[in-house]
Each structure stands twice: as structure tokens, then as C-alpha cells.
Structure 1
Amino acid sequence: MIILGYIVLVIYCLALIYILAFCLMQFHLLFLYQKHLKGGNEIESSEISEENWPFVTIQLPIYNEMYVVQRLVDNITKFDYPKDKFEIHILDDSDDETVAIAEAKVAEYKAKGFNIERITREKRTGYKAGALKAGMSSAKGEFIAIFDADFLPNPDFLKNTIPYFEDEKIGVVQTRWEHINQDYSLITRLQAFQLNVHFTIEQVGRETADYMLQFNGTAGVWRRETIESAGGWEADTLTEDLDLSYRAQLKGWKIHYLEEVGSPAELPAEMNGLKSQQFRWMKGGAETAKKMLPSVWRSDLPFKKKLHASVHLLSSSVFLCVFIIGVFSVPVLFLLEPLGFNAKYFAVFLLSMLSIVGVYFVANVRTTWKGENYFKIFFKFLFIFPVFLALSMGLSLHNSIAIIQGYIGKKSPFVRTPKFDIKSIKDKLNKEKYMATKIPFTTIMEGLLSLYFIYAIYAGIQMNNKSFILLHALLALGYGAICFYSVKHLKLK
């Protein structure tokens, strides 16, 4: 039993070390972001005369988006770009009411003189990646702009992005996601809170140091030559965007990130949609890491660049470590005294928390809370950060399953995240067409894990050992909330 106890303690500590290393790398990106803010590495766009704007293909890959496809097409046709210099291709794999809505919008805008087509396939082979790959054969543009169904880019999007391609080394221009419904609920606020880190600290920090970064699947523009030279879209991972981003950069292309150009989009407004999105991102991240890490380390990139690329590709694995420290913390609680181990030695891992606090605070001050009173910001952060931490921990079981499946090579379909045209707090989540209908096994397990950590709190109090009470309280709250909202947002028959 003593040997088993040490094994448990070692696994627990290794998971903590992994999380610490990840958090310190995030803090390093914060340092780089602050360096960027001081200036000195800005990329200037070029001036392009009206007659010299290049031809652009705008691809809109959709699948069963009856609630948002109309607003998407209406929005794209408002682009402030010469009408004869862009085409709109709706890459439509839908098999529901979306088909008729999309056909009607195409007919409407063709009559108004727009170059717009609805492109379909017999089979949804390769899902989104397959649609993008098939769409290339009919695309006439020198540049390819891509928008998911939930995005509402601003009219000046193309004029803000295309000039950067005057630099022949730039193969992709990515813009920052904004959130049209972030104030809709606690769930949407927490998503915005997390995404703001990626679209400030991570993307800008990586570009500042000339590390590898990524196209985020939407709200960006590709140079057609970049896609073709990197081997085109491939459907062997669920994150085709991350995969092609790395293949393109290994070919020598650069990705330029525009923090100052925002592209509004709708966040998932219900828990099961959020979980399907998280599953796809986590599993796809693991699949891409498995696929691309050997190529990264065989390349002639500098060691530091390879190291940061590895951390980037392996970033989803932090959820697996979060799950491990949560589950293992309970037996560790009982093992500390028999093993003669003092919990105070874990204090060094508080560096993880301090690093992440700094990263999340700066990211959200720069975006959602920009210009607000610092006293007000402090109390907002004091509330939202622990709640965010709890729900992130609560998602760790669900995300760990996705990560493990990705690494072992288990295939699964591309499950798109349903959108319901939720723009503000006035909108109601009563459009049940795409709502989940069954309680998955993971949701049951999340409920049981919440009870597991409630017991751990009780056990800690009984043993007069309060070392893990805060951790267990966050875990109990997180798993309980994820379970509750997963059931609440079901369309039960």
C-alpha cells in the first residue's frame, strides 16, 4: 500500500508539474504581449488603389444552420468591396430547412447583381474540411476568405485584411473574434472570458516572438497559393484549421494576426453545444499534435520555436492533467499523513495560479473591460475568475475523453456547434431544432464526481486537514454546474 501511495503521489505531482510548465509558458506569452504593446514590431498594411483590389472568393461552409444562414448571407453582401471583385460561395452540406433558406437568399442576391452561388456535394465526406477542399475547384479568387455560419464580419473586413498580402511572405491574415452575445448568460460570459486570452495574449505573443500561431477556422483570409503549396485541406483531424496552419508555416509562410480588427460571432448559448465544440477542439488538437509534432521536430526551426510549437499543439492536454489532479487529490488527502508528506510543499505550484491570474486579467482588461474603472474591474475579476476556474475543472472529464480519443486514433464525426440566432439577453433559447435529446454517460459521471468532491470536503474537515478544501469546493461546484446545465439544456422527449 505504501508503494501504491507513492505511485499516486508521483502521478499527482507530475500532473502538477505539467500544469505549472504550461502556465509559465502562458506567462511568457503575456511578457511578449506586453512587449508588443510597447511597440517596435508592427506590420504596416499597404495602400491599394480601388482598381487594383484583387479578386476574393468568400467561402461560407454551412451544415444545417436554419437559424443563422439568412443573417450570414445578408451580412456578407454588405461588404465595402468592389462588387465585381468578389464572389460568395455557400458551401452547403445541409439536409434540412437550411437548403430552402439558402437557395432563396442566393436567388435574391443574384437578382441584385451579386456573384453568389450555392455549392453542394452528394456526400458530406470530410465534413468542413471536405467542403472547403471541394470548394477550391470552383473558387476563382487569388485570396480565400472563410466565415462560419455564426459570424457577422464588419463591412470593411476585406479592406482591412487584403492589404497585408502585399507582403509576399504572408499566407494568412487572421482577425480577432468578438462576441455578439457574451452578456446573454453566465455560460457565454465565461466563454468570452477564456477566448479573449487566445485572441490577445496567445496570438499576439506568438507573433511578436515569431513563434508558430494559427488560423482559427473562420474570420480570416488565405492566400490561395498558400493553401495549395501546403497540401490543401485535409480531413484526418477535427481541427483542419490548426493542421493546415502548421503545414503552411513549415513551408515558410507567415500568419499575420490582426488584434485591432474584430469579427463578431455568436457564442454557444447552451451547455451541450458548448461541450460539442469543446470536444471537437480538444480531440482535434490532440489529433493535430500527433500528426504534426514529428514534422515540427524534424524541421530546421530554432529550438525555442519548436518548444513553443510543441506547447501550443499539446495545450489541450492540460485538461487531462486537471482531471488527474482533481481525481487523485482525494486519495492524496488520505495519504499525506501515512507517507509523512507535508502539503505545504505543494505551495510552489501556486505559481501556476498566479501566472494564469495575470494572463486572464490583462486579456480581459484589453477587451471586454477596456476603459472601465479599475476598482470595478477588480471586483468583476474577483467574481468571474473562480467561477471560470470551477467550470473549466468541471469540463475536464469531458475534454479528457476527447483528448485520449484523439491520441489513440479513435475516429468520430465532425459535430458542428448549433447556433440559435442569440444576439442579446432579450433573445430566448426556445428554438429546439438542434438541441441535444439524450443524457450522455459523461453527464452522469460529472454528477457523480460532484458528489465525490463533496465527500472529499467532508473528509478533509473530519481529518482537520483543510489543505484541499478550496480545490475540492471548486471541483464540486464545477462538475455539479456542468451536469446541471447539461440536463437543463436538453430537449427531453
Structure 2
Amino acid sequence: MFILVLYGLILVLLTAHNLCRLSLVMAYLRYRPRQKANALPAAVPDKDDLPLITVQLPVYNELYVSARLIEAIAELEYPASRLEIQVLDDSTDETVDIIAQRVAFFQQQGINIQHIRRPHRTGYKAGALSYGLTLARGEFIAIFDADFVPAPDFLLRTVPNLTDPQVGFVQTRWEHLNKHYSLLTRLQSFGLDAHFTIEQSGRYVGDYFANFNGTAGIWRKTAIEQAGGWQSNTLTEDLDLSYRAQLKGWKFNYREDIGAPAELPVEMTALKSQQYRWLKGSAECARKLTGAVIRQHGLTISAKVHALMHLFSNQIVFLVFLLGVLSVPVLYIRKHIPWDITVFEISFFVLNLITLSTFYAIPAFILNYRKKPLMIWHFFMFSTLMMGLSLHNSVAVIEGYLNRKSPFVRTPKFNLNHKGGRWEANKYIVPELSWLTVMEGLLGLYYVGGLSLAYRLDEYRLAPLHLMMVTGFGYVFLLSISHTFAALRAKHRQPDTEVPDVIVQDVRA
């Protein structure tokens, strides 16, 4: 009985999260004209009236992409007298020399760019941004991570959105330099497109709290300072600061129409490290900010509910993991109980399926997928990928809720924008098999057992779920194994001490 009650509770909680997503879909569709109007802000002021902007580039050991980043930022179309660029370099390897060379070159071209090296890497990225802020002269602070390549007109298009003195930060949509590199990158882009189309736009038009995504956006310096500055007690300093700023009354502005191209992880270990940081950091923020959201005066009930569901959206991965684990004993138990739970179960599964398919389908059509039928395949495979990562991601969420501290592990970058590019010799990949990878393989076998049990019991209502679990855990396990051994072979051929060639590409060509 306990297992069935817990199983039912998980279905209810997942449905609640998905209904919140559905409300964002409805807000997005209903108020999309407001978002379109936001895409046409007031005319750009005369160049002499443009505000002073500081562009911050936090970098740590980015051998493959740091030169590309600096090249792109140096091409920004903005008056030189109103722009300063800070390369916040915490690197400990050859990246330092690459940055020094590029900075010196552009300084000779008359560009106000500084190579900033702080004494200690305290606070990781948050510490670097905070240190740079003490030296920044700009009224506004634009931030780009190392793998981003913004268009030259990025600042001219986003600055007008900050003419409203209540706007604390502006976020733009991420685009993907290497979307078509592999199935893994296509699935990541599929999920991120939904976030940057439905979630961010829905929160903006619905006047709900939203998060700065850490990069490809602009902050008002005063908003950062009044919110308490960058803090490093969570792994997602961007989510933390954006919520603290909105709790202080600052507004969020989103430009769905402006894309900022960036690189997606092409290797499973890199993807896992990114997912771990995002999910653990969001759980840490939930611990830190929930009380403040609940106590906030002047915030509507709807806004509070959306904020709390946003902060606790990380628990979805844990709920999915528990749902899958419990589904196998549930398959056996319900064959031996006197009442049928089929109607309850199917109702919630159908509701969740409709909600999720709507949430992910709309971005696919809006962003003009060339082959619309592929959306069904991508939806299935993205769902199975998230199921396959549910154990790994659940560990991250639990550690975040338990306040178990861990270092900021950045995602390795590759500078791969086309099919066939090789990543195996990337010096930042640490090829090792963790106990989680072994457990992912065993869980794949566990759900094979679930399918076998369904056959023996002649009970197939949970077979689609178990099939997705087998596919998801099998896919994650096999990619983890194959990518690890590929990296090991590459490191055997090319020791870490050998520095690979760094090619600066103009990806906009």
C-alpha cells in the first residue's frame, strides 16, 4: 500500500509541475504580441548619448575558445569611448598566454580591453564577476561565457530595453553553434529551445520571476549592487542574483528575438558536469531563497506559486527517477490488489503527455524545424535522455538540498561547429568511470527485467515507460563508456603536456 500511495503522490507532483508549464504556454500564446512589441524597442539613442557599458568575459582554462570569444567581442558595434572590455582570467594553463596575446593585439587597435588577473580564484565565476565589478566603470554590465559568439550589433539591440529605470537585467535567447554535430547536441538544443521560447518568454509576459541565464545578457550595475552583489554560496550564482534582484523590485526583460550563439557539450562527461552544476545549484538556491519568496510583500499568489515551482523544478528529475524505480514493483503489486488503479494512472500519464508535448512542440514550430515529423522523434529521445540522466541528476539535487558543498566544475569547451570534428584529445576531459555510470548500466538491466515481468504477468500498461527507461539508461551508459574509452585512447596518443593547435574561426561566416 505504501508503494502505491507514494507512486500516486509522485504522479500528482509531476502533474502539478507540468500544469505550471502549461500555464506558461498559455501565457506565451496569449500575450505573445507583447513579446513581439518588446522586440521593437525605442530607437537607439545617438551615439553620444549611449551609456557606458562594461563587457565582462569570465574565463578559466579555455584553451580552445578564448581567442574566438575575444575576437567576437572586439567586433561589437558600439562607440569605443562608451565601451570597456574586461577579460576576467582565472586560468592556470596556456590560456593565459593566448589571452594576453589577443588583448595586446586589440589594445594596439585602440580597443579598451583589459586582461584582469586577480590574486586568488576565490568564489569561482561569482568571485571573478564580483572582482571585475569593483573595477568596472560602466553603468551596465554585459556578460558572456567563453563559448559564446555574440553578433556585432548585440549591444545596440539590447541597450534600449534598459531605458526603463525599473529594468534590472535583460536576457537574450541562446542559439547553438553545433546543434547538428550529433544526436546528443540535437537533443540538448531541443530542450534548451523550449526553455528559451516558452519558459523565459512565458515568465516575462506573465510578470513572473525569471532567471538570468549566466551569460548573453546585460545587468544594470545598480541592480547588482542593491541585490547584494554576486555571491558564491551556490553553484548557480546567476539564478541566485536574479531572484534577489527581483525580490528588491527590479524587473526582468527578455528578448526572444535576439539570439546569442554558443556551443553545446558534445561529450557525455561534459554534459553530465553541466547538468550537475545547474541542478545542484538550483537546489541550493531553493534552500536559500524559498523563505524570502514566501515572505515577499506585494507579490501576487500566482507569482509566488510560479516562483516556487521554478525554484523547485529541479525536483522533477528526482520524481522521474523514483517513478521509474517504483513502477516495476507497482507492476507486480497491482496484479494482487482487489481494486484497479488504471483509470487514475492513465489519466495522469495522458495529462502529462499532452502538457509536455505542447510545451516542446510549440518551439519546434516557431523556430521552423525543417522536418516537423522529426519533432516526435526528438521529443521521444529527449525524454529518454532525461530519464537516463535521472540518477546522476537526482544525486546533484539531493546534494544541493543537503547543502553538501562542492567546487564549481566548469563544462569543457571544444570549438567544434561541424560534423566530423574530433574532441577526444581535449585536455580538459578527465576520462574515468564513476560508480554512477555503473549504476546507470544496472538500471538499464533493471527495466529490462520490468519488461520481462510485464510479459510474464501479461500486463503491458507500463511497458512504454519501461521501454523509455531502458532506452534512456542504455543510451547514457553506452555513450559514457564509449566516450570515456575514446578519451583514454586519445590521451595515450597525445599526453596532456602536448598543447593542441587552437584555431580561431569566424563562425558567422
Normalising by structure 2, what TM-score?
A: 0.93
Partner of 2:481: 487
Counterparts of 1:441-460 in structure 2 under 5 Å? 441-460=435-454
Is the CA contact (8 Å cut-off) linking 1:41 and 1:208 kept in structure 2?
no
2:288 is the alignment partner of 1:263: no
Shift of 1:342: 2.4
2:156 is the alignment partner of 1:162: no
Partner of 2:346: 347
Q: From 41, 44, 57, give the equivalent of 1:45.
A: 41
Moved over 4 A (4+): 38-41
Aligned length: 482
Gaps of 5+ in 2: 493-509
Q: Deviations along 1:142-193, whole A, 9 cap, x unmatched? A: 1100000000000000001111111101010110000010000000000000
SS of residue in 1 equivalent to 2:427:
helix
Q: From 431, 434, 437, give the equivalent of 1:440.
A: 434
Shift of 1:432: 2.3
TM-aligned CA distance change 1:243 to 1:196, over 3 Å: same
Is the CA contact (8 Å cut-off) linking 1:58 and 1:146 kept in structure 2?
yes
Partner of 1:328: 326
2:304 is the alignment partner of 1:306: yes
Is the CA contact (8 Å cut-off) linking 1:171 and 1:254 kept in structure 2?
yes
Is the CA contact (8 Å cut-off) linking 2:35 and 2:205 kept in structure 1?
no
Partner of 1:8: 3
Q: Provide the C-alpha distance between the structure 1 equivalents of 2:18 and 2:154, rounded to a whole number of angstroms.
A: 34
Q: Provide the C-alpha distance between the structure 2 equivalents of 1:190 and 1:88, rounded to a whole number of angstroms.
A: 34
Amino acid at match of 1:234: Q
Partner of 1:220: 217
Amino acid at match of 2:438: I
SS of residue in 2 equivalent to 1:330:
helix
SS of residue in 2 equivalent to 1:131:
helix
Is the CA contact (8 Å cut-off) linking 1:435 and 1:489 kept in structure 2?
no
Normalising by structure 1, what TM-score?
A: 0.96
Q: From 57, 72, 81, give the equivalent of 1:75.
A: 72
Shift of 1:125: 1.1
Shift of 1:382: 2.1
Shift of 1:84: 1.6
Is the CA contact (8 Å cut-off) linking 2:178 and 2:416 kept in structure 1?
yes
Counterparts of 1:88-487 in structure 2 under 5 Å? 88-300=85-297, 301-345=299-343, 346-349=345-348, 350-367=350-367, 369=369, 372=370, 376-377=371-372, 379-487=373-481
Partner of 1:29: 24
Q: Provide the C-alpha distance between the structure 1 equivalents of 2:415 and 2:435, rounded to a whole number of angstroms.
A: 29
Identity of aligned residues (%): 45
Q: Provide the C-alpha distance between the structure 2 equivalents of 1:216 and 1:237, rounded to a whole number of angstroms.
A: 14
Larger deviation, residues 277-286 vs 118-127: 118-127
Amino acid at match of 2:346: A
Amino acid at match of 1:347: I
SS of residue in 2 equivalent to 1:258:
strand
Shift of 1:46: 2.5
Q: Provide the C-alpha distance between the structure 2 equivalents of 1:432 and 1:168, rounded to a whole number of angstroms.
A: 45
Q: Provide the C-alpha distance between the structure 2 equivalents of 1:199 and 1:58, rounded to a whole number of angstroms.
A: 22
TM-aligned CA distance change 1:81 to 1:432, over 3 Å: same
Q: Provide the C-alpha distance between the structure 1 equivalents of 2:394 and 2:338, rounded to a whole number of angstroms.
A: 31
Q: Provide the C-alpha distance between the structure 1 equivalents of 2:465 and 2:269, rounded to a whole number of angstroms.
A: 25
Q: Provide the C-alpha distance between the structure 1 equivalents of 2:215 and 2:190, rounded to a whole number of angstroms.
A: 19
Gaps of 5+ in 1: 1-5
Amino acid at match of 1:406: G
Q: Provide the C-alpha distance between the structure 1 equivalents of 2:179 and 2:481, rounded to a whole number of angstroms.
A: 22
Amino acid at match of 1:262: G
